[in-house]
Structures are given as C-alpha cells and as structure tokens.
Amino acid sequence: MSIIDTSLPGSINLSAISSPDDIRPLTIEQLESLADALRAPLIARLAAHGGHAGPNLGFLEATIALHYVFNAPVDKIVFDVSHQTYVHKMLTGRIDAFINPERYGEVTGYTNPGESPYDIFALGHTSTSVSLATGLAKARDIKGTHENVIAVIGDGSLSGGEAFEGLDYAATLKSNFIVIVNDNQMSIAPNHGGIYENLSLLRQTNGTADCNLFRAMGFRYLYVGYGNDLRSLVKAFSEVKDSDTPIVVHINTTKGHGLPVAEKQKEAFHFSAPFNPKTGALSTPANPDNYIDIFTSHMLDRMANNPGLCVLTAGTPGAIGFYPDRREAAGSRFIDVGIAEEQAVAMASGLANAGCNPVFGVCGTFLQRAYDQLSQDLSINRNPATIVTFYGGVWGMNDMTHLGFFDVPMISNIPGILFLAPTNVEEYLAMLDWAITQRVTPVVVRTPSGKVVHAEGEVEKDYANAGYLTVEQGRGIAIIAAGDFFTIGRQAAGIMRGRGLNPTLINPRVISHLDTDTLDNLRDYQAVITLEDNTLDGGLGQKIAAYLSGSAVTVHTLGLPKAFPDRYKASDLLASCGLTPEAIASLV
C-alpha cells in the first residue's frame, strides 16, 4: 500500500508507513506533504499526552530527510538525548502510537532498542551520541563494512564534556562519520557558553566564517541555513552520504517549528505537560504548593541579604524553579553554565573556596554526571558548597534513563560530603539555611519529591553535628524512615500502635552517616525497620544493618530495587518493594 493517497492530490496515508522504505520513493514535494501530514497528529499527541514539543517539531523535516537519504537500520543513526525522536518513531514502524490516541502509551519518549531495530541505544542524558557513535564507526572499520554512521546532536548538548570528548576523538577517524548539529539556538533554556558565540557567527556568515569551532577540531564542515527546509536538507545529507572522512553538518532549525505557541515560548515548550495547542495554556494548572517553588522563593529571599549567595544550574533553570522572571530577580548571581554538570560542581567548589555561598540546584539523575567532581574537586577540598537535588526518589522522573534512585549510594559513600534528607518544608528550609551559611563541609540536600508536608514542631537549626531525630519514643520496634519516606514510616507506626505495639519512630536526617548513639539504644530491640527512597544497595539501611550485626535486633531494610524500571507507576513499585504502611506494619 502506498502512503500517497492517489485519490486526493498531496494527501498522505500515514497509517501505511511501516518503515523508511515507504518514504524513499517520494518526491521532494511529496516529502513536504508528508511533513505537513506528520505535524498535525504530532501536535495533537503532544497537546494531549505532553512531551518534548519544541525538539520534536523543530527536527521533523530533518528526521524525514535523514530517513529519506540514509538507509537505516543498516546506516546507523544515534540521536543525542533522543527526546527528539517522535518523528523517527513515526517513520520506523510505530506510527500507530502517534495517530491513535488509545495507543499513545505504547512507545517511550526516547529511543529504545526494545521497541525497534532502528533504535540503537536507550539514552536520555545529553551529550552522549557522538561518543557512542564512534564505537559503531570503529567497529565498522574493524569489520570492514561500509555503512554510514550518523550522530545527531543538538546545540544545547554540545556544552557537555562528553560531547567534546567524542568530537575530539571522532575527528581523528579516517573514515565515514557524520555529525548533524541541530542548532535551534536553544538549550532547554537559552544557551550559555563561548561556543555559542561561534555558532551564532557561523549562522550569520552562512557558515563561511574562518573562525569555525568544528574545523578547528578537525572536521570538514557543511552549513544548512534552512534546517526546516526539506530540499536543503536532502541536498546536504546526500552530499555527505558515504563521506570517507568525518564531517559536521550544521543545520539551523526553529525549535517548535509549525506550532506558534511553541515557537514563541521556546523554553516553556521544550517539554510540556498536556496543553491547549492554540493558547499554550496547560490543561491542568500546575500546583503552586511544591518544593521547587518553595526552594526558589527561599533562595531569592536569602539572596537579598546574603551578597555571597549564588545559585548555579547546568542548563536546567526551569527544573529548579528559576523561570525567566526569577532569573532576572537573581541577576548575575544566578549562574547557568549550560549543560555541564562537571563545570557546575567544580565552579561551586571554587566559589566556596573564595568565600561565596554557592548553591548548585540539579536533577538527581544528572548529578551523576559529576561523580568525580563531587569527590575530587569538591570533597577532598572540603569547600562548603551546597548542592540541592531535585526529582529524587520514587516520585521523581520515571523514565529508565532519568531515575532518581541512585543518588544516595553514589553520594553517601564518598568521604566528606554531608548528605541531608529533609522530611518536611520547615526542615528543608532549615537545612538550606544552615548549609548556605556554614563554612566547614560540602553539603547535599535532597529535595523531597513527594507531596508537601509541614513540620509539627520546631526543627533543628544547626546540622553540623545533627544526629538522628527520635520523633516518637517507643520500645522494642523502631522505624527509621528517611526523607520523603518519613510519611510512610509515620503511617506504619500508626497502624502498629493500633495493634497495641509501641514503635519508636526516627527521622535520620543525615543519610550519609550513622548516628551510633541512637543506634546503640536499639541493640536490644526486637526489630529495626529502615525505609529509604533510593536503591537499597549501598544505601543507609545496609550500613545500619552492618552496624547492628551481632546484637539481638533484626534489621529489615526497605527501599527501591537495584534496577532500571521504565515508566513505572510509583504506587506499584512501592507495593512491590513492601513499601506500604500496611506491609511495613505487618513485618513485626
């Protein structure tokens, strides 16, 4: 069945697209009709289901051109971050998940080898495509085959160190390697960094400027000024196909192309919850009572009276509540280093060393891009920088590439970092206030990802030597419930009391260290139950169990599994781990 509906000029039968083979016979004019035909259901799905609107709309034509010119899956296309692959999925056998609302949930928002042989890697962190693709290219050269290897990377991802390491190596390949730089003049938020001046110069000079970052790194270079124009794209990709040396194709695209609200509000529509495609209004207004806005307001308030306080982001200001108006309010003390977490941690260390009070706000899943900097640049130097993580734990993001489970084993086993897990708003703000004014240690504060909870009494102000807090003193059974699992622990304790038991309820507050005084008091208990909103392996519970080994007490460690669950439902995952108040209460 042809995808061209011959009964109606220019009409496309989308449901007939089963693979890129179906689009290769088309003319450029027919490809343009295809682009229009794909855009409508793409916008409808984005509006109804949410997703990465700007990236997918901006890369629609380029995706068609890639699959028109190259011969995937023999030719290998690696998409950086892969949040711009909705059209790729539409063209590679997964059209139903975009044109049939009942099937929207059948595909993930990222490339996924489990879905299709056209998806080579599962990925969702930025700046990895070039490095991964160099492995494919080198393997091809070792095996003596001749397929094209294409790495697609957005301009925003170029600032990440791994992208640079990849480009530096790729330039030395003496064989086919094609880098498509999708330049939409935006990261998630506006771009920051010296290289963006060069991209701007290249755009202004139609790619002809002598000063050219990509040439300086050893690449041949081709510029496409109209990166949403199929004719230009097909011409450029055809030119570089089967190139026998590394080449960069720099294409100038419009983020959100074809959806006026997304073209206008590029930052808001990088990723959006379901929205009205005409007005851009969110279908469900955001809940203003959330930890992110609480954090941002508090930082702005404190910045007013603390001239050394500054807030850093690595390219995700919105994720930490610093929307444009708030960035403006913070002025030069709001620092966006671009997508460059290593830079952010090291710079925070330098700022703290020189007497400032830096706060690096970051999604937990992205902080793992700076493990070495946490250890070497920051902790060995004992510089009192504060890192605040967001979207940690089971209620954070739930794509397998964006999980917030692993921060506790990662951070709490590095010497010299104090890792604090607040259980409510007041404790959160007190920990932040202490962290940003103390001068003795790097501190990580884990923003709760569950519902906003308030303290019932006074909270500690000084966390320099804070131990575990015994909230309710009982006997025989103790529940040590960390961070946003404290609420679950409290509920479990309530059930136990209803059954005539008298549990002790403890908020550990510090999840990187043991409070041995508190733990020693539990040695003659019957049971200690630890609850932590992170993978059990390497976490707090195992430390407690090891410390209490040899005493009479049985330690039940509860937490999340060492696994990469994808698009899980939090309540299901919690239940499968025994992390419900009822299941916990029934342990003893």
| Contact predicate 233/224, CB 8 Å | yes
Q: Which is nearer to a copy of itself, 358 or 448 (CB)?
A: 358
Q: How far is the CB of 401 from a copy of itself (least distance, A)?
A: 6
Pick from 303, 356, 387, 394 the residue near a copy of itself by CB under 8 A.
356
Pick from 277, 476, 538, 578 the residue near a copy of itself by CB under 8 A.
538
Pick from 11, 15, 172, 283 the residue near a copy of itself by CB under 8 A.
172
What are the tokens at 393? Answer: 């734990």
| The 527-535 sheet, strands edge to edge | 469-472, 504-507, 477-481, 527-535, 554-560
Residue 310 class from Cβ within 10 Å (0-12 exposed, 13-18 middle, 19+ buried)?
A: buried
Q: Which is nearer to a copy of itself, 22 or 399 (CB)?
A: 399
Q: How far is the CB of 266 from a copy of itself (least distance, A)?
A: 20
Q: Which is nearer to a copy of itself, 142 or 464 (CB)?
A: 142
Four-CA torsion 54, 55, 57, 63, nearest 10 degrees: 170
Cβ contacts of 250 within 8 Å, gap of 6 or more: 181, 183, 199, 202, 207, 214, 221, 222, 223, 224
Pick from 54, 409, 442, 483 the residue near a copy of itself by CB under 8 A.
409
Pick from 14, 167, 240, 588 the residue near a copy of itself by CB under 8 A.
167
Site for a copy of itself in 285-314 (CB under 8 A): 307-308, 310
Q: Which is nearer to a copy of itself, 199 or 430 (CB)?
A: 199
Site for a copy of itself in 185-244 (CB under 8 A): 192-195, 197-198, 210-213, 215-219
Binding to a copy of itself by residue 132, rule CB under 8 A?
A: yes
| Contact predicate 210/237, CB 8 Å | no
DSSP one-letter string for 264-326: HSTTTTTSBSSB-TTT--BSSPPPS-SHHHHHHHHHHHHHHH-TTEEEEESS-TGGGT--HHH
Binding to a copy of itself by residue 583, rule CB under 8 A?
A: no
- Interface segment toward a copy of itself; rule CB under 8 A; list 57-65, 235-243, 317-325, 410-418: 410-418
Sign of CA dihedral 482, 344, 130, 266: positive
Binding to a copy of itself by residue 349, rule CB under 8 A?
A: yes
Binding to a copy of itself by residue 161, rule CB under 8 A?
A: yes
Closest CA to 248 of 216, 278, 271, 282: 216
Q: How far is the CB of 189 from a copy of itself (least distance, A)?
A: 15
Pick from 557, 574, 579, 588 the residue near a copy of itself by CB under 8 A.
557
Site for a copy of itself in 25-44 (CB under 8 A): none
Site for a copy of itself in 54-83 (CB under 8 A): 76
Q: How far is the CB of 461 from a copy of itself (least distance, A)?
A: 26
Binding to a copy of itself by residue 401, rule CB under 8 A?
A: yes
Distance CA 507, CA 480 (A): 6
Site for a copy of itself in 101-120 (CB under 8 A): 113, 120
| Contact predicate 269/281, CB 8 Å | no
Binding to a copy of itself by residue 89, rule CB under 8 A?
A: no
Pick from 80, 155, 377, 515 the residue near a copy of itself by CB under 8 A.
377
Pick from 22, 80, 162, 427 the residue near a copy of itself by CB under 8 A.
162
What are the tokens at 568? Answer: 């899980």
Pick from 354, 456, 523, 582 the residue near a copy of itself by CB under 8 A.
354
Residue 8 class from Cβ within 10 Å (0-12 exposed, 13-18 middle, 19+ buried)?
A: exposed
Distance CA 483, CA 444 (A): 13
Pick from 67, 140, 255, 326 the residue near a copy of itself by CB under 8 A.
140
Q: Which is nearer to a copy of itself, 103 or 562 (CB)?
A: 562
Binding to a copy of itself by residue 362, rule CB under 8 A?
A: no
Neighbours of 118 (CB within 10 A): 21
β-bridge partners, 75: none
Cis peptide before 73 (omega within 30 of 0): yes
